[in-house]
Amino acid sequence: MSTPARPCAELLREVALIACGRREGKTRSCRSCARKAPGLLNIATTGALDTLAAAICGNLSSACQDCRSKAAVIISETSDAPCAA
């Protein structure tokens, strides 16, 4: 039995914070990013960078560079910390 490194709730908070824009001194995402986090985490576990970036950006056809890099961070952070809901 292997236990995930971080609990689900914490991972979700991390995903929300990255999507919202992580910076020094900021510990919480806004409410709307927190609400998007479960969906973003779902996409992240499939590894679909483009889809994830578009979901963060809110633009279904193409995401901006900023959101693409956020998506890459989320995928790398969630791939080594699997979370079985």
Residue 73 Cβ vs Zn ion, minimum distance, rounded to whole Å: 13
- In the bound state with Zn ion, the residue whose beta carbon lies nearer, of 24 and 80, is 24
Q: Distance between the two ends of the chain, CA-based, in angstroms? A: 16
Residue 79 Cβ vs Zn ion, minimum distance, rounded to whole Å: 22
Q: Which residues contact Zn ion by CB under 5 A?
A: 20, 29-30, 33, 57, 64, 67
- In the bound state with Zn ion, the residue whose beta carbon lies nearer, of 12 and 33, is 33
Structure tokens at 66: 């900023």
- In the bound state with Zn ion, the residue whose beta carbon lies nearer, of 5 and 30, is 30
- CA atoms of 69 and 26, how far apart (whole Å): 18
Angle, nearest 10°, between helix axes 31-46 and 65-79? 70
